[in-house]
Chains A and B, each alone.
Chain A
């Protein structure tokens, strides 16, 4: 087999691709399309919650308390008769905003410091990298927990905490890319022609570093959502009456022993769906943008 594939002289004839291959590509794209649809749908629903949600998130209805899913309460109601679907849609605002904000913040700070470390090298790089090592010496969730606890219990602090745990990813990526470009011959060649160093850097850095950063950021959205939900599940960040998927799950947990399953189940389903979608898109983006990584996962 190795023999066959190594014979570079055998061109891949434009033969009718087998059904299997077509199916494989279709399935892959179908999955990504579905994932994208889930994200777009959720983002729209959360943004337009005022118009989309069937009920006010805080509208109580004593007659419909602890209602199992029915037609006019698709996902059921809680002990105050609040509509679970509406609450999940509204909660999506907080979840998506924090995940997006944390990812953007981490990306911005991580890339900036990464460029500094890569360009200045020497002592500055050394100090920065020791800091990165120290941050990475904590399991991400534990560090986020500690930072939130120290800064104080608020949504903004959760955002900052999640961002801090993700900064090293971008920082190392950019720094590595700069180091790689420095080694390359075309950078030398460009220098000979008289291009200033920073210009060479940015001309080559962007196209090379952008694809892995986009992939990283997509996957990071999933992580950020999980961290956010876990933090508020253990009581950090979200203050009632504001609600979020993790804190809703925590509230719902109390009703397991009495069998009101929808209260913990559906907020969790929202988290799983969103994280799954971001991961799937991240994976196919990786396949698409970064052929080197193909088949690794």
Chain B
């Protein structure tokens, strides 16, 4: 019951935010950039025809009416059309979403798998070499623009060493993608036992996911380090030492479990970094995801996909943060039971 109240309280905070987000994206899409009717009609059209188009598109109606139509469109999955592909944006999105998802998950995995142990070791061996390495990684990771890290990785591993494939998408040329189940090539090729596709998919995924993973590893490692430092000094960890609980279990069991609570709260921010980094990294590695789609649309001044991408990311961001809040409540008995 206590948890239900917590859940409802969080939910009540999410709804106004969602409304605010859609107002912002609506404003950016329909109100600001010139006259959509003119854009749609092209330069060679008479003012009367523009007026006619405006009427058709409902642009002569008041802001709130237009906003209402926009929201109901979004709710029905209508994100408009892409001017360059001529297809509904939603369709293009669905096709490209698995690529983005695969890259995001792989990067998150790398960031967690490297960042958490680095943070733990930095805290346990404070002021030693590993702590200094961690600090350098942290400072550098925040200061290096993702696109530059990606290019550097390409130059070193593709051009100089030749161990990485050229940046041309999710699977090597001439290799048939695995039968689609989840849409994630790595998972699908594992499920179907398609080893050739698996190897190629992993190979292609290597540099982009490392680039993106390393960029978000820094905040994770930093957070783990500072909370671990605090928790290693806590009374219950001291009590665990005194009770003869083995070292590894104290550090990776008692201490880390408690350190994960604050770490989970920054996963929301990390997710924001991931989404932002995604767009840039996808364009560096020609990764066929929604970020790349949005950036390509920027070049062609195709506003539909861009604004839909922004809306999509913001909605996802709000939802992910909401889920994280709920998760936080589930993990910490002080919230779950109080």
Interface residues of A (CB under 8 A from B): 130-131, 133-135, 137-143, 145-147, 149-152, 222, 226, 229-230, 233-236, 246, 249-250, 252-253, 256-257, 259, 261, 264-265, 268, 271-272, 275-276, 279-280, 296-297
Could you say which residues of chain B place their CB within 8 Å of the CB of A234?
Answer: 279-280, 283, 295, 298
List the A residue with the shortest CB-CB distance to B154.
A256
Interface presence of B24 (CB below 8 A): yes
Query: B20 near A150 (CB under 8 angstroms)?
Result: no
Pairwise interchain contact B28-A279, C-beta atoms closer than 8 A: no
Inter-chain contact B275/A276, CB cutoff 8 Å: no
CB distance A271 to B298 under 8 Å? no
* Residue of chain B at shortest CB distance from A134: B20
- Contacts A133-B16, A246-B145; is A146 near B307 (CB within 8 Å)? yes
B321 nearest in chain A by CB position = A137
Report whether B148 and A249 are in contact in the complex, using a CB–CB cutoff of 8 Å.
Answer: yes
Question: Given that A130-B16, A135-B24, A139-B273 are contacting pairs, would A249 and B147 also be in contact in the complex, using a CB cutoff of 8 Å?
Answer: yes
Per the 8 Å Cβ criterion, residues 304-338 of B in contact with A are: 306-307, 309-310, 313-314, 317-318, 321
Contact assessment for B151 and A264 in the assembled complex, using a CB-CB cutoff below 8 Å = yes
Complex CA gap A90/B283 in Å reads 26
B143/A222 in contact, CB under 8 A = yes
B147 touches A230 (CB 8 A): yes
Q: Are A138 and B24 in contact (CB under 8 A)?
A: yes
CB pair A296 B226 closer than 8 Å: yes
| A143 to chain B: closest residue by CB | B310
- Give me 10 A-to-B residue pairs in the complex whose CB atoms sit less than 8 angstroms apart, sorted by A's number: A134-B20, A137-B17, A140-B276, A149-B33, A150-B33, A230-B145, A233-B147, A249-B151, A256-B154, A264-B152
| CB closest chain-A residue, reference B24 | A134
A150:B28 contact, CB within 8 angstroms: yes
Known: A142-B276, A150-B32, A229-B145. A134 touches B17 (CB 8 A): yes
A271 touches B33 (CB 8 A): no
When distances are taken between beta carbons in the complex, the residues of chain B under 8 Å from A268 are 144-145, 148, 151-152
Contact surface of B with A, Cβ cutoff 8 Å = 13, 16-21, 23-25, 28-29, 32-33, 139-140, 142-148, 151-152, 154-155, 158-159, 166, 222, 226, 272-273, 275-276, 279-280, 283-284, 294-295, 298-299, 303, 306-307, 309-310, 313-314, 317-318, 321
Is there contact, CB below 8 Å, between B143 and A259? no
State the majority secondary structure of interface residues on B.
helix
Give the CA-CA distance A137 to B312 in the complex, in Å: 12
Chain A contacts for B313, CB-based, 8 A? 138-139, 142
CA A149 to CA B279, docked complex, whole Å: 14
B325 to chain A, nearest CB (A): 13
Interface pair A137/B318, CB less than 8 Å apart: yes
A280 vs B140: C-alpha distance when bound (angstroms): 11
Extra inter-chain contacts (12) besides given A145-B306, A149-B28, A257-B159, CB under 8 Å: A130-B16, A137-B20, A139-B272, A143-B310, A152-B33, A229-B145, A230-B276, A234-B295, A236-B298, A272-B145, A275-B145, A280-B139
Distance of A122 Cα from B143 Cα, bound (Å): 40
Q: A131, A140, A149, A233 — which one has the most chain B CB atoms within 10 A of its CB?
A: A149
Do A226 and B23 touch (CB < 8 A)? no
A283, closest chain B residue (CB): B139
Contact A149 B148 (CB under 8 A): no
The residues of B that contact A259 with a CB separation of less than 8 Å are 159
Contacts of A233 in B (CB 8 A): 145, 147, 280
Q: Are A137 and B159 in contact (CB under 8 A)?
A: no
Q: Which residue of A lies closest to B274 (CB)?
A: A139
Assuming the A-B contacts A137-B318, A235-B298, A249-B147, are A264 and B24 also in contact, with contact meaning beta carbons closer than 8 angstroms in the complex?
no
| Nearest chain B residue, comparing its CB with the CB of A276 | B143
A6 to chain B, nearest CB (A): 14
Question: From B275, which residue of chain A is reached at the shortest CB distance?
Answer: A139
Give chain B residues whose Cβ lies under 8 Å from the Cβ of A250: 147
Contacts of B275 in A (CB 8 A): 139, 142
Q: How far is the CA of A140 from the CA of B25 in the complex (A)?
A: 14
Complex Cα distance A143/B25, Å?
A: 9
**Chain A residues whose C-beta falls within 8 Å of the C-beta of B148 in the assembled complex:** 249, 264, 268, 271-272
Cβ-neighbour of A146 out of B28, B139, B159 (below 8 A) = B28
Task: Return the contact of A142 from the options B144, B158, B279 (Cβ within 8 A).
Answer: B279
- Compute how far the CA of A150 lies from the CA of B147 in the bound complex, rounded to whole angstroms: 23
- In the complex the two chains form, what is the Cα distance from A229 to B203 in whole Å? 29
* Residues on A with beta carbons closer than 8 Å to the beta carbon of B29: 150
Complex Cα distance A137/B315, Å? 8
**B25: A residues at CB distance < 8 A:** 146
Residue from the list A147, A152, A256 in contact with B151, Cβ < 8 A: A256
- Assuming the A-B contacts A139-B273, A146-B25, A230-B146, are A133 and B280 also in contact, with contact meaning beta carbons closer than 8 angstroms in the complex? no
Of A150, A233, A252, A259, most B-chain CB atoms within 10 Å: A150
Q: What residues of chain B lie closer than 8 Å to A152, measured between beta carbons? A: 33
Chain B residue nearest to A1 (CB atoms) is B233
